[in-house]
Amino acid sequence: MKVILEDIENTGIEIKAESCFAFDGGKFESVIFTGRLLPVGDKKSEFYLDGKITAKVVMPCDRCLEAVSLELGGDVNVRIVRTSAEELPEELELEDDDVSAYTVEGDELETDEITEQEALLLLPMKVTCAKPCGSELIKDENDEIVKEGDPRWDALNKLKNN
């Protein structure tokens, strides 16, 4: 959702946006953000984006590479600092607690760019199928064969020994 920062009232504006995008290692089928964009102070140079993300992501299973669908959710609470090209570099230097701040140049903010970055932060390191699969499945089958096979081999061994 595109927002003109200069037009934002002191009470902020409601943001409801949905997007989808692919990333290195999977695809977000939907990223839904609902929340508010609020200005900090009167200068319209700093804003807070507050809200919630719900997302559907498809990633390959870590074991068998089958596509696994996941639903993710999380809170978003980020600072947005508006910068302009004319500002001197030292004025753009951020304080320690500004590490998580996003910067936007000029008057227009695309909230999807922020919500997509935040959605990526919700991703698990890896996903696996709910059921055993891939090498897990092979291991399980071998376990069963060993268990089931034991009595039969016992009988055979007895015959051999006799």
| Beta carbon of residue 69, minimum distance to Zn ion (angstroms, whole number) | 12
How many angstroms separate the CA atoms of 54 and 56, rounded? 7
- Candidates 1, 13, 58, 64; binder of Zn ion (CB under 5 A) is 64
CA 95 to centroid of chain Cα atoms: 26
Q: Which stretch binds Zn ion (CB under 5 A): 12-20, 39-47, 119-127, 132-140?
A: 132-140
How many angstroms separate the CA atoms of 106 and 69, rounded? 37
| Helix (H) or strand (E) segment spanning residue 23 | strand 13-23
- Candidates 13, 63, 101, 102; binder of Zn ion (CB under 5 A) is 63
How many angstroms separate the CA atoms of 123 and 58, rounded? 10
| 61 touching Zn ion, by CB under 5 A | yes
Q: Which stretch binds Zn ion (CB under 5 A): 87-95, 114-122, 131-139, 144-152?
A: 131-139
| 137 touching Zn ion, by CB under 5 A | no
| Beta carbon of residue 71, minimum distance to Zn ion (angstroms, whole number) | 18
Q: If you ran DSSP here, which 8-state letter would residue 94 be given?
A: P
How many angstroms separate the CA atoms of 119 and 28, rounded? 9
| Beta carbon of residue 97, minimum distance to Zn ion (angstroms, whole number) | 41
Chain residues that interact with Zn ion, rule: CB under 5 A: 61, 63-64, 66, 129, 133
